Amino acid sequence: MQKNKKMIKKFKNPIYVSGPIFPDLNKYVDRLKEVWDSGFITNSGKQVEKLEKKLSKVLDVPEMSLSSSGTSALFNSIRYCKLSGEVITTPFTFASTIHSLTANGITPVFCDIDYETMNIDPERIIQLITPKTTGILGVHIFGVPCEVNRIKEIADKYGLKVVYDAAHAFGLKYDRIGIGNYGDASIFSFHATKLFHTAEGGGIVCKNKAMKKNVDIMRNFGIKANEKVVGPELNGKMSEIHAALGLEVLRYIEDEKRKRRKILNIYDRRLKNIKGIIFNTELKKYNLQYFVIKIDKKLFGKSRDEVNGLFKAYNVYTRKYFYPLCSNYPHYKNNISSERSKLAVANRVSKEVLALPFHGNLSEEDANSICDILISFSK
Ligand code: T4K
């Protein structure tokens, strides 16, 4: 029986897991006038240049090379690091992480994760290293940092490169420096569902100007100069329209974080003592990208899938990030490393995890109603 069902309102409008920042349209149009006046709508004009400089400061990294998506940034950072053969990675991530490896002709070798952080478990990496291993691809899942120092130790010992998918980690710091400084390359996603966005977009962190020069060439078909093509690369450029949007969105980040912090405090206070609801109570320390819970069916009384389905009746659209597990996709499930027994934690997590609505368009009342609804499903 659901408790207090009559008291709980159904939302009039759908409540989604994420909601982009929409900056003041007039200000955006003013900025677009600059683009119109410049005569350059893409191919690395002034807006991209400005946004790269601003983001390098905000993210506390030396240089940024903006791209058309987080996926193109990931694809190119893997190429920049010359990864090949086998790369050890997490199965608990978005499709993009793993596809970026296979699209580069690399075999993903799946490594189990830590139950609490849901990140790759460094101690299990070592057992997976073979003569074909060239690198480690870590993901700071939901904006929670990987064990970057331990991963570096392992990579140095075995002569491996490290690439970080920091798609969720905008503004995150680790040991007081921007998370993008870790690894041989790090990428961000600036998709609309992210804390900071350019509608579609992403970027590679560059350690110095020389790396930026190389990566900039990679996002431009490998064209170094007129009549000089240095590699078989693709188009991964960010347009001026997207960069202009990003420059406006950037003004709202602190306000968005303030709003998200309020929602997080409500979720934290109302859900932390509910039996069978598990979440990382350290989330306040991180970057406010997602609010994700795990549901223990035995203790809560309903499974994650049941809860996800029941929420819909209230017009609330929670998401099973990340289900199915990448290692269970039809094209990866026959890899030796995909065996479920070797990925016990990841398989468990992917059946328990549920992302709750988490963005600045939610009111405190909305967050409380979402908690009321969730609590009403418990036994
Ligand atoms: N690595 C990781 C670990 C990633 O999670 C991602 C992307 C990437 C790499 C690749 O980065 P990109 O190439 O995408 O830059 C979304 C995003 O499309 C994707 O960027 C993101 N991760 C992934 C976790 O989530 P969907 O299929 O869940 O998106 P969608 O359209 O269902 O949006 C979620 C909810 O947000 C919707 O129910 C409604 C709401 N929404 C969405 C959009 C786009 C809005 O209210 N307004 C909007 O404009 O993939």
Q: What is the mean pLDDT of residues 322-329?
A: 98
The alpha-carbon radius of gyration of the chain (Å, integer) is 21
Q: Does the beta carbon of 314 sit less than 6 angstroms from any atom of ligand 1?
A: no
318 three-class SS: coil
The atom number, within ligand 1, closest to the CA of 19 reads 46
What local confidence, expressed as pLDDT, does residue 1 receive? Answer: 42
Strand locations in the chain (E): 15-16, 63-67, 86-89, 107-110, 133-139, 161-165, 173-174, 177-178, 185-189, 202-206, 223-225, 228-229, 277-278, 291-295, 316-317, 353-356
Instruction: Using pLDDT thresholds of 50, 70 and 90, give the confidence band for residue 233.
Output: very high
What gap in Å lies between CA 175 and CA 150, rounded to an integer? 13
| pLDDT reading at 150 higher than 70 | yes
What length is written for the chain? 379
**204, 65 Cβ separation under 8 angstroms:** yes
Crossing angle of helices 240-250 and 46-58, rounded to 10°: 40
16 three-class SS: strand
CA of 198 to the centre of ligand 1 (A): 12
What local confidence, expressed as pLDDT, does residue 6 receive? Answer: 52
Q: Whose CA is nearest to atom 45 of ligand 1?
A: 19
Q: Does the beta carbon of 361 sit less than 6 angstroms from any atom of ligand 1?
A: no
Instruction: Using pLDDT thresholds of 50, 70 and 90, give the confidence band for residue 31.
Output: very high
Please give the share of the chain, as a percent, with pLDDT higher than 70: 98
Q: Whose CA is nearest to atom 33 of ligand 1?
A: 193
Q: What is the pLDDT of residues 52-111, one digit of tens each?
A: 999 999 999 999 999 999 999 999 999 999 999 999 999 999 999 999 999 999 999 999
Q: What is the mean pLDDT of the chain?
A: 96
Q: Does the beta carbon of 192 sit less than 6 angstroms from any atom of ligand 1?
A: yes
CA of 19 to the centre of ligand 1 (A): 10
Q: Whose CA is nearest to atom 31 of ligand 1?
A: 193
Please give the share of the chain, as a percent, with pLDDT higher than 90: 94
Q: What is the pLDDT of residues 172-225, one digit of tens each?
A: 999 999 999 999 999 999 999 999 999 999 999 999 999 999 999 999 999 998
What local confidence, expressed as pLDDT, does residue 30 receive? Answer: 98
Tokens of 367: 């967050």
What gap in Å lies between CA 280 and CA 209, rounded to an integer? 38
Beta-carbon-side half-sphere exposure of residue 236 (alpha carbons within 13 Å): 28
pTM for this entry: 0.97
The residue assigned the tokens 């009403």 is 376
Q: Enumerate residues 6+ apart whose C-beta is below 8 A from 331.
A: 102
Q: What is the pLDDT of residues 122-137, one digit of tens each?
A: 999 999 999 999 999 9
3-state helix/strand/coil string of 107-171: EEEECCECCCCCCECHHHHHHHCCCCEEEEEEECHHHCCCCHHHHHHHHHHHCCEEEEECCCCCC
Q: What is the mean pLDDT of residues 314-322?
A: 98
Q: What is the mean pLDDT of residues 238-257?
A: 98
Query: In testing the pocket of ligand 1, which one of 101, 172, 191, 318 has its CB within 8 Å of the most ligand atoms?
Result: 191
Q: What is the mean pLDDT of residues 108-116?
A: 97
What local confidence, expressed as pLDDT, does residue 9 receive? Answer: 84
The atom number, within ligand 1, closest to the CA of 199 reads 49
CA of 192 to the centre of ligand 1 (A): 7
The atom number, within ligand 1, closest to the CA of 202 reads 15
